[in-house]
């Protein structure tokens, strides 16, 4: 059994002992609760009229964590520091034990203390974060916490001092721990995210790092996910789109263009567009990825209902293997496949030029590879032309008539 992290809550001053009622934990007992197989534990280190300190921590069941890890065959999956450091997982496990405090629902005799500001000192760790110390300070200081970061080699403890209510103090911590963590919250479901959102009420909107906090803590909330990804995708897509458009335009004026091979068809976007080009009678979408091919097939099925669409045929293949279905086609497109030729053997182009023998080959690649393929093409009786765009080449090889 290993401990996750710990959170200490210390209150001083008059009436400090009321905090135990707000926490709804008897200071004379030690507390233990089994949460999804892990043990959430709490005990008091100090308890007097004017000073109270409680520590809550998790003794997790390591084996449970291993069982749920998703990817395979990586050492990193069975040793990871998730178990030891402040994390969103910790928050998820501890939250039910601190429910009374977080929701501000103690016994009715103490309801009036919910909004009472105590002199608090929250201390938690170990913390491992990709954020700089300055940034961490920027996170807590606007909340009127006097913030102290104690480093221990690569990890740290964070100490927050300030006057606040227990409810708001805990809510802020529970919302900001995942921000520090920046961990992909695989274990947090939607409901919990909504809870986290609720914790931001009344203070988050005024926080100078509001957007940053939302992005990092709520990256799985669809709105933010989409917001964040869209801008990235747009850039990527535009280049991909540009390339596809260029290829489609090229193919539209090639004669003949009855049969097309889309090598490395991935999820079928290019093949789909080619399906609408007049004069094409057969499109072979070639890839080795099962999941991408599946997506491509779905894409084609959807488009098949539209008029004038030639449904591409998916077939297994890559430049490493031979597939006799690709022989002697009018146009072969190798788009964004050849990026690292040094890994590949020259056999690849021998197979294309000498075996598959397309009438026309369209290749997108970088400049270095282009020089290399150009020479090969000449040897097999192909003449070529090319076009450059943002360091990428679109090259066209056409088979000379006499070598047919």
Partner 1 sequence: MKLQIPHTGIVLLIGPSNSGKSTFLKDLLMKKVIMTSEVVSSDDFRLMVSDIDFVELKNRSKDESDALQDLYKRISIEAFALMDTVVEARCRLNKLTFVDATHLQHGDRKKYIDIARRNHVPIVAIVMNIPEDILLTRDSNRDQPRGIRRVKQQYLRFIKERKSFKDEGFSLIYYIDEYESPSIVRRKNPLELNVGEGIDFIGDINGCYNEMILLLSKLGYRENDMGLFIHLNGRKFVSIGNVIGSGPESLKSIIFLKRHVDNNLAYMVDSSNGFEIANWINEETKSMNIAPKLASDFESYKIEYGIEKLEELKEELKQFLFNSPSHYVFTENGVQIAVGTHAGIKDHYIGKQSPRISDFCRSGDNSSEEWYLEHKTNLLIVWGHYLKQHPLIENNTVNINQGAVYGGNLTAFRYPEREVVSIKSAMNYSGEEKNPLIELESKRLVPPNIHKLIDGYRIQTESFGSILVYPDLVRHAIETVSHSTIPIEQMVYIPPTTSPTPYTSKLDCYLEHPGEAFDYYRSNGVSTMIAMKKNMGSRGVLFLFKDIESAVKYTGIESLGIIYSSNGSRFFEEKVERILVSRIVSDLVENNYFKKYETDFVLIDVEIMPWNIKAKEQISLYSNVSESAILDRSKLMEKMMFLKNPKLQGWIDEYNAMLENAKKFKKVFQDYGVQDEEMGEIQIESLYIIAHSGKAFFDKPQTWHIEMGRELASYSSLFIETEFKLVNDVESETGVIEWWKEIACNGFEGIVIKPDLYINDSELKIYQPAIKVRGRDFLRIVYGMDYLLPDNLKRLKKRKTSKKQKQAINEFSLGVEGIRRFVAGESLERVHECVLGVLAQQADQVDPRL
Using the rule CB under 8 A, is 62 a contact of partner 1? yes
In the bound state with partner 1, the residue whose beta carbon lies nearer, of 123 and 271, is: 123
Q: Are 158 and 148 in contact (CB under 8 A)?
A: yes
Give the span between the Cα atoms of 96 and 89, in whole angstroms: 13
β-sheet with 155-164: strand ranges across:
31-35, 38-47, 51-59, 6-12, 118-127, 155-164, 146-152
Question: Min. distance of Cβ 125 from partner 1 in angstroms?
Answer: 7
**Contact pick of 16, 251, 254, 319 for partner 1 (by CB under 8 A):** 319
**Per CB under 8 A, which of residues 375..404 are in contact with partner 1?**
none
Using the rule CB under 8 A, is 128 a contact of partner 1? yes
Q: Which stretch binds partner 1 (CB under 8 A): 13-21, 60-68, 96-104, 109-117?
A: 60-68
Q: Which stretch binds partner 1 (CB under 8 A): 58-66, 130-138, 223-231, 394-402?
A: 58-66
DSSP 249-314: HHHHT-SS-SEEEEET-TTSHHHHHHTTSTT--EEEEEE--HHHHHHHHHHHHHHTTSTT-PPPEE
Give the span between the Cα atoms of 260 and 271, in whole angstroms: 9
Using the rule CB under 8 A, is 68 a contact of partner 1? no
**Contact pick of 105, 147, 313, 323 for partner 1 (by CB under 8 A):** 323
**Contact pick of 316, 328, 379, 387 for partner 1 (by CB under 8 A):** 316
Q: Angle CA(40)–CA(44)–CA(49) in degrees, nearest 5?
A: 145
**Per CB under 8 A, which of residues 162..201 are in contact with partner 1?**
none
Using the rule CB under 8 A, is 73 a contact of partner 1? yes
Tokens coding 19: 């905090």
Using the rule CB under 8 A, is 63 a contact of partner 1? yes
Residue where the block lists tokens 């201390």: 123
Question: Min. distance of Cβ 54 from partner 1 in angstroms?
Answer: 10
DSSP 150-174: EEETTEEEEEEEEEE-HHHHHHHHH
Question: Min. distance of Cβ 343 from partner 1 in angstroms?
Answer: 7
Size of the site for partner 1 (CB under 8 A): 59
Using the rule CB under 8 A, is 85 a contact of partner 1? yes
Residue window 37-56: x/- pattern of binding to partner 1, with contact defined by CB under 8 A: ----x-xxx---------x-
Tokens coding 121: 């000192």
Using the rule CB under 8 A, is 103 a contact of partner 1? no
Task: Please say whether the dihedral angle defined by the alpha carbons of residues 56, 57, 59 and 63, taken in this order, is positive or negative.
Answer: positive
Using the rule CB under 8 A, is 79 a contact of partner 1? yes
At residue 354, the 3 state secondary structure works out as helix
Q: Which stretches of the chain bind partner 1, using CB under 8 A?
A: 1-6, 8, 29-30, 41, 43-45, 55, 57, 59, 62-63, 66, 72-81, 83-85, 125-126, 128, 152-155, 157, 288-290, 316-324, 342-347, 351
């Amino acid at each position: 059994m290993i401990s996750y992290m710990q959170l200490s809550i210390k209150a001083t001053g008059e009436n400090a002992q009321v905090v135990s009622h707000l926490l709804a934990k008897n200071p004379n007992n030690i507390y233990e609760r089994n949460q999804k197989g892990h043990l959430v534990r709490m005990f008091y280190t100090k308890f007097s009229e004017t000073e109270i300190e409680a520590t809550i921590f998790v003794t997790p069941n390591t084996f449970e964590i291993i069982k749920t890890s998703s990817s395979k065959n990586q050492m990193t999956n069975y040793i990871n520091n998730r178990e030891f450091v402040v994390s969103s997982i910790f928050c998820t496990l501890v939250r039910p034990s601190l429910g009374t405090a977080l929701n501000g629902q103690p016994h009715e005799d103490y309801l009036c203390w919910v909004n009472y500001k105590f002199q608090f000192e929250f201390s938690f760790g170990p913390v491992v974060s990709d954020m700089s110390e300055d940034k961490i300070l920027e996170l807590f200081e606007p909340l009127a916490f006097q913030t102290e970061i104690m480093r221990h080699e690569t990890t740290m403890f964070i100490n927050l001092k300030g006057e606040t209510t227990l409810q708001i103090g805990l809510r802020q911590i529970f919302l900001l721990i995942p921000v520090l963590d920046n961990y992909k919250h695989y274990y947090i479901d939607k409901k919990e995210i909504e809870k986290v959102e609720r914790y931001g009420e009344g203070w988050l909107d005024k926080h100078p790092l509001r957007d940053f906090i939302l992005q990092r803590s709520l990256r799985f909330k669809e709105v933010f996910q989409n917001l964040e990804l869209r801008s990235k995708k747009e850039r990527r897509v535009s280049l991909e789109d540009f390339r596809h458009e260029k290829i489609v335009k090229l193919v539209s004026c090639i004669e003949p263009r009855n049969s097309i091979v889309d090598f490395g068809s991935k999820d079928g976007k290019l093949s789909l567009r080619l399906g609408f080009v007049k004069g094409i009678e057969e499109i072979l979408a070639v890839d080795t990825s099962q999941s991408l091919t599946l997506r491509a097939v779905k894409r084609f099925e959807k488009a098949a209902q539209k008029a004038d669409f030639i449904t591409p045929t998916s077939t297994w293949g890559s430049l490493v293997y031979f597939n006799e279905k690709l022989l002697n086609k009018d146009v072969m497109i190798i788009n964004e496949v050849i990026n690292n030729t040094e890994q590949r053997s020259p056999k690849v182009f021998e197979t294309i030029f000498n075996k598959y023998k397309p009438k026309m080959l369209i290749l997108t690649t970088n400049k270095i590879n282009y020089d290399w393929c150009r020479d090969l093409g000449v040897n097999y009786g192909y003449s070529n032309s090319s076009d450059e765009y943002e360091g990428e080449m679109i090259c066209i090889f056409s088979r000379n008539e006499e070598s047919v």
